[in-house]
Amino acid sequence: MRKLLWLAVVLACILLPLGAYVRLSQAGLGCPDWPGCFGQLSPAQAAQDIAHAMRLQADGPVSTDKAWKEMAHRYLAGGLGLLLLAYCWQAWRTRQQLFAASGLLVLLLLQAMLGMLTVTLQLRPLIVASHLLLGMCLFALLCSTASARYWPSQAVAPSHWRLAALLLLVLAGQIALGGWMAANQAALACQGFPRCNGDWWPAMQLSAAWPGWQGADQQHATLPLTALVAVHWLHRVGAALLSGLLLLTLWRLWSYPSLRRQLCLLGLLAGLQLLLGMANVLLQRPLPIALAHHVLAMLLLATVWTLLCRLHARAARHVSAMVQQAGRRPSTWLGKGIGPHPH
């Protein structure tokens, strides 16, 4: 089961960036049907249909190159699905890790459904953003399940657990907002940094930024420019709020020695993500930097989720008693991974 999990993690590390590459290279409709390509198993078998589509619209969403990108993503997604089904079968057969296996199976089925709808509904922004966020949640659950034996649990005060949970929720919201921005192609709606189009508070239309179901084709977004600016600006504001909450979380949890390595990793990933976000705007979103920004978001969500899974809240009085006992017998609390509490 461990081998299946780690193989699934490795495959997901390839699959999610590949999905981002398909989207960023405008290949999401390289094969306009699902699950095959023009009803065939591969673009090679659908060469005539692809050539016909290219004759009708030379600069359209269908081309041989785009079709292979899209189908490569589907092949890897199918491989990941088979690995997770094998893991779930082993979990049910051995009665081990049933909760994690059930969660992975539910996310897998939902993700497959969203992948189908992404194509059949012609890249609806709501579906694209949901597909992105759910894929990252699937990766986070995979990482936390596979690495559970390597990270000891840690008793913390309830307020510290709530702070970590809030960080996870805000991070998921920020990723969803980034997915909505990417799906509506609003990444370059704000020029310049830290100002947006030369203003600290640019002209924008928040009410038009959430039309919900309307679509965007491969060449341009259907939202008005003021709405695109609003989506982009909200993503920047969310990044600032998330950074402040992250610093507060790092400061409050630093008092637990067993968490410090993971906190250092979290801080490093967050710092790199901020730099990549700024570089995306200043350098006009080059493909490698945009792809790296996506990968860092995926790793951030997995790190925060894994951190939260390690924590279990205890009453403040109980944690203080453990800390006092740790002060009298250092070897005991070091062996159990129980860190001192600031209160």
Please answer whether residues 25 and 69 qualify as being in contact, where contact means their C-beta atoms are separated by less than 8 angstroms. Answer: yes
Question: Residue for token digits 């290219």?
Answer: 54
User: Is residue 308 a contact partner of residue 146, using CB atoms and an 8 Å limit?
Assistant: no
**How far apart (Å, rounded) are the C-alpha atoms in residues 82 and 339?**
41
Segment 101-138, tens digit of pLDDT: 889 999 999 999 999 999 988 888 889 999 999 999 99
In 3D space, the residue among 25, 97, 105 whose CA is nearest the CA of residue 66 turns out to be 25
Q: Name, in order, each residue with C-beta under 8 angstroms of 187's C-beta and a sequence gap of 6 or more.
A: 181, 232, 280, 281, 285, 290
- HEC readout, 111-141: HHHHHHHHHHCCCCHHHHHHHHHHHHHHHHH
| Predicted confidence (pLDDT) at residue 271 exceeds the cutoff of 70 | yes
The token pair that represents 250 in the structure block: 């790092």
Cβ proximity of 67 and 50 under 8 Å: yes
pLDDT of residue 315: 53
Share of the chain above pLDDT 70, in %: 88
User: DSSP class of residue 150?
Assistant: G
Count of residues making up the chain: 343
DSSP 8-state class, residue 339:
P
* Distance in angstroms (rounded) separating the CA atoms of residues 215 and 222: 7
Two structure tokens written together for 60: 């359209």
Report the C-alpha gap between 40 and 113 in whole angstroms.
20
Per-chain mean pLDDT for the chain: 86
Burial class (CB in 10 A: 0-12, 13-18, 19+), 265: middle
Identity at 193, one-letter amino acid code: F
| Active-site residue flag, 105 | no
Residues 6 or more apart whose Cβ sits within 8 Å of residue 126:
180, 183, 212, 213
For 240-262, what is each residue's pLDDT tens digit?
A: 999 999 999 999 999 999 999 99
For 205, the 3-state DSSP assignment is coil
Q: State the catalytic residue, choosing from 70, 105, 144, 338.
A: 70
**Which of 21-30, 55-64, 194-203, 295-304: highest mean pLDDT?**
295-304
> Tokens at residue 29, please?
């409709």
- Identify any residues that bridge with 154 across adjacent strands, giving them in sequence order: 311
**pLDDT tens profile 137-155:** 999 999 999 888 788 889 9
pTM of the model: 0.85
Please state, in angstroms and rounded to a whole number, the distance separating the CA atoms of residues 65 and 101: 36
Pairing of strands 311-313, 154-156: parallel
Q: What is the mean pLDDT of residues 311-338?
A: 49
